[in-house]
Chain A
Amino acid sequence: DAGVTQSPTHLIKTRGQQVTLRCSPKSGHDTVSWYQQALGQGPQFIFQYYEEEERQRGNFPDRFSGHQFPNYSSELNVNALLLGDSALYLCASSLGVVNGNTIYFGEGSWLTVV
Chain B
Amino acid sequence: DAKTTQPPSMDCAEGRAANLPCNHSTISGNEYVYWYRQIHSQGPQYIIHGLKNNETNEMASLIITEDRKSSTLILPHATLRDTAVYYCIVRTPSGSARQLTFGSGTQLTVLP
Contact = CB atoms under 8 A, between A and B. Distances in A.
B99 A33 contact: yes
Interface core residue of B36, B45, B87 (most chain A CB under 10 Å): B36
A56 B98 contact: yes
Contact of B43 (A45, A97, A107): A107
Interface in B59-112: 87, 91-105
Nearest to B44: A105
Interface of B: 30, 32, 34, 36, 41-46, 49, 51, 87, 91-105
B46 A55 contact: no
Interface core residue of A44, A55, A99 (most chain B CB under 10 Å): A99
Interface in A61-114: 88, 90, 92, 94, 97-108
A42 B43 contact: no
Secondary structure call for the B interface: loop
Contacts of A103: 46, 98, 100
Interface of A: 4, 31, 33, 35, 41-45, 48, 55-56, 58, 88, 90, 92, 94, 97-108
B30 A99 contact: yes
A22 B102 CA distance: 22
Contact of A102 (B41, B46, B51): B46
